[in-house]
Structure 1
Amino acid sequence: MVGLSRAMGPATRRRRRKLRPSRLKVAPQAAAPVSQRPRAPYPALRSLPDPAPLDMPEQRLYKGPNRLTPILDVGLRRVLLIGLTLAMTAAAGLRMAEILAPGGLGLADLGMLALFCILFAWIAFAFLSGAAGLLLSWRAAGERWRPRPVILTRTALLAPVYNEDPDRVLAGLEAIYEDLVACGVAELYDIFVLSDTRDPDIARAEATGVLRLRARTGAPDRFFYRRRALNCDRKAGNIAEWVTSCGADYQGMVILDADSLMSGDTLVRLTSALEHDPKAGLIQTLPTIINGSTLFARMQQFAGRLYGPMVARGQAWWSGAEGNYWGHNAIIRTQAFAACAGLPHIRGGKPFGGHILSHDFVEAALLRRGGWAVRMAAHLDGSYEEAPPSLVDMAVRDRRWCQGNLQHSAVLPAKGLHWVSRLHMVRGILSYATSPLWLGFLILGGIVWANQRHAPGADPSAALALFGVTMAMLMAPKAMAAAMALSQAGARRAYGGALRLVAGVVAELILSSLMAASMMLMQSRAVIDVLLGRDSGWNAQTRDDPQISLADAWRRHRRHTAVGVAWVALAGALDPMLLAWTSPLALGLVFSAPLTVWTSRAVGAGRSGLFRTPEDTAPPRVISRATALRLRQDGERAARLEIDRLMVDPVPPYAPAIVRVETPRQEADVIS
């Protein structure tokens, strides 16, 4: 442990002595308002354990090993998955070509056919991966939970923060620590708040919050705080600086986000998995979304909880030791990370050049290149995060992720990467590139429809059948997950009963379909912005209810509404059948502004019961405790702000002040 006085250093202790009341100068009564007065020096808190440096060399992307060390061959699974995807895409593509053939294959037809094959392959791959996840989830449903293992190694929990609400972050960390205490392993985990905050008021609240947290828990040697003078390379640079200064003392490090929660049991199981697998460099959990209060957030929470585990199991099935990393709620072998994951800057200017934004995918690829396994522990519960509260906030977050994922196109040629690591990056790029592809497909579809609908031999029923098959495959993973939950009595109760579960699935399907068109246009705009060289910047994420007004929603969606109205007019003029097929997209665009306002309003789980999840029905201990701690801190906030104001502008101990006192008989001037 490093004592607080020692952590502050002699210069800071001298500044503290200068703030004693006996040495403060009393300002005259006609002084400027508090907000205009110069701030007094405030003690800086930099509390870290004794240095344990670990070298973290910068990696050279285009120079690497000629041959990777093989780990746990899952080649047959990948051959099956990719082979079936190609076969299904070829069959659907041939059928589409037959549908387009009667009117002749012009440029629009060929473009539509090419886009159809790309998009169908994307859907088929997800469908097959989800089907594998369904089988694995069904088989695992009857498995008994193993006893909690015994662990021996030390692990660091790292919470990088950037202008976040300190109360939210520290409440979560305190709840995690208490859960570790309940598991009897708290002495094996150290918790670090690694601040990149630029706002001095928030930074001061972080530092004082850590001090209060130490006092409340009685564990000052378990909590540490460091604020960087220069926040180079954002979150990746923040983690790298900790690794090079403290990393040698810890076998593993668990990366947390500002809204992350993890149960003590899950942390112990992750640590044990790292101990017992000497080849493991990173083990990623599947975070469950919690604490949604708006309709939009609760919809995301419900969908993630119901469909997410099945999708994650499917991805773990075919990715094997070449898994992916999502940037948080994962345990990483510290020495492997230091040796393999020092990120270089990409040549060129923004938005493609410079610091790697979506660092997690690249770090996972570099770990695998270095001979370490990257796995997903899709079976572990007890890993949690929060979702953006509105469609607008999700679009803002997606804009930053879009730039980071598109930047991976410069990393794809890196030497020595496993082809599955490259596949993860390609899928990340396509997760945003598919939006403009879908937009192009719809535009070309309208043109082709206008040319083909009266062509001799045209068969609208065949086009309708192919459309139905494509939509069925798109919706199948959701249907499979819902069917599995309905088949299990415990799962039905956890989601509030069969009726609520079915209602939630139907409501999520309708809302997500209506919002799909707006998200398509937003992501298409984001891709265009990135290609035009516009940088996304770095801002803290909105995590509380935004209360979006109709006027603000209209400003953000007016172009979407115009596109929707134009589409209704054109599609209706071409053919009512075309309008009927695309009605969910058209309605979503026309009513995009009121839909965003409505879904951004707080609803809560108890009012309607819609989108109820197991964490609502029986909240785990770490979630309940974090919620209680946040409520307590909210109640103390006014007092803390007043204390902070007094430290900035102390009350003069001997300054005379004239007070007017009214009495029943007379008014008197009283000197106090």
Structure 2
Amino acid sequence: MDGVIHPTAEWHHLPTAAPLPMPVQSLRQAPAPGPTARPSAPRWMALRRFLVLGGAVALTAFGAWEMAQVLDVSRPTAIQLVLLGLFVALFGWIALSFLSALAGFGSLLAGGGRRLGIDPAAPIPDLHDRTALLMPVYNEPPERVMAGLQAIHESLAATGRGANFDIFILSDTTDPDAWVAEEAAFLALRERTGDHAHIFYRRRPKNHERKAGNIAEWVQRFGGAYPQMLVLDADSVMEGDALVRLAAAMEAHPDVGLIQTLPVIVNGNSFFARMQQFAGRVYGPMIAAGIAWWHGAEGNYWGHNAIIRTRAFADHAGLPTLRGPKPFGGHILSHDFVEAALLRRAGWAVHMVPALRGSYEESPPSLTELAVRDRRWCQGNLQHAAVLGARGLHPISRLHLFTGIGSYITAPLWLLFLVVGVFGALEVRFIRPNYFPSGPSLFPEWPVVDPVRAMWLFIGTMALLLVPKLLAWFLLLLNPEERRGIGGTVRSFLSMLVETLVAGLLAPVTMLTQSVDVASIITGRDSGWQPQQRDDGTLGWQTVFRLYWRHTLFGLLFGAASWLVSPYLALWMLPVTLGLALAVPLAALTARRATWLRQIGLLAIPEESAPPAVLNRSNTIRRRLMEQARPMEAVQRLAADPALRDAHLAMLPPPRRPRLDPLDPALLLGCAKLEEAEDLDGALATLTRAEKAAVLGDSGGVARLLNLTSSPRPGEPAVPRSAAMAD
């Protein structure tokens, strides 16, 4: 271990480079037309969009008229006008979702949902091109990642088309211990599969532009060798059959730039996660079918479990840096919506194929973890305001961007609507009306509020929210296999009631959290990039109280204010105030494991009662890997495993070129600290995480660290290290 350590054997952790330029796109100038300005799409698309969008407008106009009659706005006050405006915006959002879901119900009832000739019942097609499976990771447990990839690899091999796919683990991990653990897991994955020719690993020393930059760097280095790439997430698992059919569809349709699957949420253990996966499995297919029915070739991209034409992506999806400071400026966080819009702008079709099964993902295990993810998504979606006006975007693509913004803006709008509603009630009760506003008159102008009409308007609004759930549930009942998978008719109906009730109580908590997020983003707070907790969401009561006591206090104050105005108003607001007042126990209890739900058959999904082979295999491998896992500090792990040490050194990027490459302050400071360290414990105590990662990314730094593993303790005879410290 004296001097700089060099690998002793040739090591192929990456294939031969195949560079592909990926120019940054302009938002102010439309690109040259792509393969066709009007890619292939289902027939009568204009009529479909008229029915959905036009129907939403008509339904909103009717709702606005009814609300105007409830408020009696013939001589409106300022509060009434604000209340009416908020109602129209929020009701329009609900109406569009309802009409889209209704379209999905009709489509599935008629046997629709298939696209691009993808028929799950047809024989597995042959492939001619190579497809890269990209797995971006960021400080993730390697057991989860490698288990999923091994299951995918085996599933592909079973189709006989495995040679057409290469797997790339694209690490942006910043934790040095997790980085070395990833490398060890990568080597073990190759050994378990016996495949050294189709599984690769690369870590970026600097994770510029986050996930979007991670994918873009791969495209620029290796994209030229792969006509298409399929992007996974750290919790993604996909069946080989689905992957082959997606690749064949890309080969058969040269005008298609992206195909998005519908991932099914699985592996939920907490009450919250099981609610999420039940809702996604029961309501999701109908919602996705509706979106696909009227979006056509102007679909959207959700960032993972989707196949992309590599050259189209390279030519037209290079993301610009938005002007201005964070949080609105800088690199685009929610990159997927923008990349889909840029692909369609260039003439490439973007499709969703909800009928294709075999695509899986996981959900956050708790309301708290959902809030962490939502905070990042909220900032990214609000950034889309700077992209909305980009030249050449298709109107449906602009609608996607607007929908992304609206998914978070609606939270403060709902909060404002509730608060303004209380002030409106105060106005009616405490401000003396002017019965003769134009002077003396034979007949006074009595203020009229129609409580019966208000009740029916409320019932109608609730129907728009709840009827799609009933329709989606009814569709699953028509399929005997899926009906059994969700627990049968009675249990599935009870599950739907439980999900609706608990989700209704959690909705105002999420509303307040997202409202605070929007306010903090507008005032300039950046969300950062935190790794996602995917397994256990359990938190102590003290932690939950610290996170949600403000929600409880707001709910109690809001309920008291409503009661002071009118007991009837307090009763009307009870679903909101009750959810907020119970925020702490709701957040704590729904985060806990709920195996009892599985035992009694509630919140069940078909993929749980009869797990698909690839999902069952992934879970089995993961459990075994977790049982074998032994957490270990990175340097100690390298010192104990010479093969891992050699592989680690071989996978390091080229050394810095003097006077050409910039200096790395973390590396310089880390090496300086190592010079003064007496032993490894002392060195690790002084190094920051960034400094340790930088030193582990330098062959000389690795030599210094490994030499310290055999350094004497204080009081023991010193061993000269001058040769070992030489570069």
Aligned to 1:610: 602
Mean Cα deviation higher: 93-102 or 325-334: 93-102
Q: TM-score scaled to structure 2, two decimals?
A: 0.82
Which of 381, 392, 398 is the matching residue for 1:416?
392
The equivalent of 1:581 in structure 2 is: 572
CA distance 1:163–1:471, change in 2 (3 Å): same
The 5 A counterparts of 1:627-646 are: 627-638=619-630, 646=640
**Displacement of 1:539:** 1.1
1:57-68 aligned at under 5 Å gives the runs: 57-65=23-31
CA–CA distance in 2 between the matches of 1:85 and 1:144? Answer: 33
Deviation track 1:96-118 (CA, whole Å, cap 9, x = no partner) reads 11111179411110001001011
Counterparts of 1:368 and 1:548 in 2: how far apart (Å)? 43
**In the alignment, what sits opposite 1:134?**
105
Q: In 2 relative to 1, CA 507–93 (structure 1 residues): closer, same or farther, beyond 3 Å?
A: same
8 Å Cα contact 2:26/2:320 also seen in 1: yes
Q: Any idea what SS the aligned residue of 2:629 has?
A: helix
3-state DSSP class of the match of 2:54?
A: helix
- Residue 45 to residue 166, structure 1, CA distance change in 2 (3 Å): farther
Find the counterpart in structure 2 of residue 70 from structure 1.
38
Aligned to 1:528: 519
**Counterparts of residues 144-293 of structure 1 (less than 5 Å):** 145-293=121-269
Structure 1, unaligned runs of 5 or more: 1-10, 18-42, 657-672
1:138, CA displacement in angstroms?
Answer: 1.7
- Tell me the residue number matched to 1:563: 554
For 1:121, the equivalent position in structure 2 comes to 92
Cα distance change, pair 45–504 in 1 and its aligned pair in 2 (3 A): farther
Distance 1:103 1:88 in 2: 22
Structure 2 gaps of 5+ residues are 114-118, 431-445, 642-704, 714-727
CA distance, structure 2, for counterparts of residue 572 and residue 201 of structure 1: 55
Report what 2:442 is aligned to.
Answer: none
Aligned residues: CA RMSD: 2.5
Which amino acid is the alignment partner of residue 193 of structure 1?
Answer: I
Of the three residues 5, 10, 19, the one matched with 1:53 is: 19
- In the alignment, residue 561 of structure 1 is paired with which amino acid? T
> Is the contact made by 1:46 and 1:226 (CA closer than 8 Å) also made in structure 2?
no
1:137 positional shift? 1.4
> How far did residue 573 of structure 1 move?
2.0
What's 2:699 paired with? none
Q: Residue 384 of structure 1 aligns with which residue? A: 360
Distance apart, 1:644 and its partner CA: 5.5
TM norm structure 1: 0.88
Q: Distance in 1 between matches of 2:478 and 2:220?
A: 50
CA contact (8 A) 2:28 2:391 kept: yes
Change (3 A) 1:341 1:453: same
Q: Hey, what's the Cα distance between the residues in 1 that align with 2:405 and 2:219?
A: 29
Q: Shift of the alpha carbon at 1:65?
A: 4.5
Aligned residue identity for 1:479: L
1:404-443 equivalences in 2 (<5 Å): 404-443=380-419
- Alpha-carbon distance, 1:645 to partner: 7.0
> How far did 1:639 drift?
8.3
| CA distance in 2 between partners of 1:257 and 1:52 (Å) | 24
C-alpha contact (below 8 Å) 2:19/2:223 kept by paired residues? yes
**Mapped partners of 2:429, 2:159: distance in 1:** 67
Say whether residues 1:471 and 2:462 are aligned partners. Answer: yes
Report the equivalent of 2:374.
398
Cα deviation digits, residues 440-463 of structure 1 (max 9, x gap):
111111111233369743221111
CA contact (8 A) 2:125 2:248 kept: yes
For residues 190-237 of structure 1, what are the alpha-carbon distances to aligned partners after superposition, in whole Å with 9 as ceiling and x for unaligned?
A: 000001111111111111111111111111001000111221111111
Name which of 351, 362, 386 aligns with 2:327: 351
In the alignment, what sits opposite 1:27? none
Residue pair 2:556, 2:577 contacting (<8 A) in 1 also: yes
Tell me, in whole angstroms, the C-alpha distance in 2 between the residues paired with 1:371 and 1:110.
43
Contact 1:158 1:192 in 2 (8 A): yes
CA 373–141 in structure 1, closer or farther in 2 if over 3 Å, else same:
closer
Shift in CA distance, 561/338, structure 1 to aligned 2, threshold 3 Å: same
In the alignment, the residues of structure 1 paired with residue 330 and residue 276 of structure 2 have an alpha-carbon distance, to the nearest angstrom, of: 33
Correspondence for 2:725: none
Q: Report SS of the residue matched to 2:72.
A: helix
Return the alpha-carbon distance in structure 1 between the equivalents of residues 120 and 337 of structure 2.
Answer: 33
Aligned to 1:544: 535
Q: Deviations over 1:371-430 (max 9, x none)?
A: 100000111111011000100110110000000000000011110111110000001000
Q: Are residue 310 (structure 1) and residue 302 (structure 2) matched?
A: no
- Judge conservation of contact 1:289–1:300 (CA < 8 Å) in 2: yes
* Cα deviation, residue 45, structure 1: 8.1
Point out the more displaced range, 324-333 or 600-609: 600-609
**Most deviating of 360-369 and 481-490:** 481-490
Structure 2 counterpart of 1:611, which letter? L
In structure 2, distance between residues paired with 1:60 and 1:651: 51
Map of 1:327 onto structure 2:
303
Given that 2:562 and 2:569 are in contact with CA atoms closer than 8 Å, whether structure 1 keeps it comes out as yes
Q: Distance in 2 between matches of 1:614 and 1:436?
A: 36
User: Paired residue for 1:88?
Assistant: 59
Q: Provide closer, same or farther for how the CA distance between residues 584 and 504 of structure 1 changes in structure 2, counting only shifts above 3 A.
A: same
The alignment of Structure 1 onto Structure 2 pairs a total of residues equal to: 621
Contact 1:102 1:458 in 2 (8 A): no
The Cα shift of 1:141 comes to 8.1
Equivalent residues of 2:137, 2:234 under 8 A apart: yes
Pair 1:599 & 2:590 matched: yes
**In the superposition, relative to structure 1, how do residues 625 and 558 fare at CA in structure 2: closer, same or farther (>3 Å)?**
same
Cα distance in 1 between the residues matched to 2:31 and 2:227: 25
Distance 1:516 1:251 in 2: 43
SS of 1:140 mapped into structure 2:
coil
TM-fit CA distance, 1:148: 2.2
Report the secondary structure of 2:85's partner residue.
Answer: helix
Task: State the Cα distance separating 1:307 from its structure 2 match.
Answer: 0.4
Alpha-carbon contact 1:46-1:225 (below 8 Å) kept: no
Aligned partners of 1:144 and 1:165: how far apart in 2? Answer: 33
C-alpha displacement of 1:609: 2.2
User: What is the rounded CA distance, in whole Å, between the counterparts of 2:629 and 2:463 in structure 1?
Assistant: 51
CA distance in structure 1 between the aligned counterparts of 2:284 and 2:213, rounded to whole angstroms: 30
* CA offset digits 1:498-528 (Å, max 9, x no partner): 1210111000000000000000000001100
1:407 is aligned with what amino acid?
Answer: Q
Counterpart of 2:70 in structure 1 is 99
| In structure 2, distance between residues paired with 1:614 and 1:548 | 29
Partner of 1:669: none
Instruction: Name the SS for the 1:638 alignment partner.
Output: coil
Q: Is the CA contact (8 Å cut-off) linking 2:429 and 2:565 kept in structure 1?
A: no
Q: Please state how far the C-alpha of 1:636 moved relative to its aligned partner.
A: 1.1
With over 3 angstroms needed to count, the CA separation of the structure-2 counterparts of 1:202 and 1:91, relative to structure 1, is same
Mean CA deviation greater in 639-648 or 266-275:
639-648
- Label 1:66 to 1:416 Cα distance change in 2 as closer, same or farther (>3 A): farther
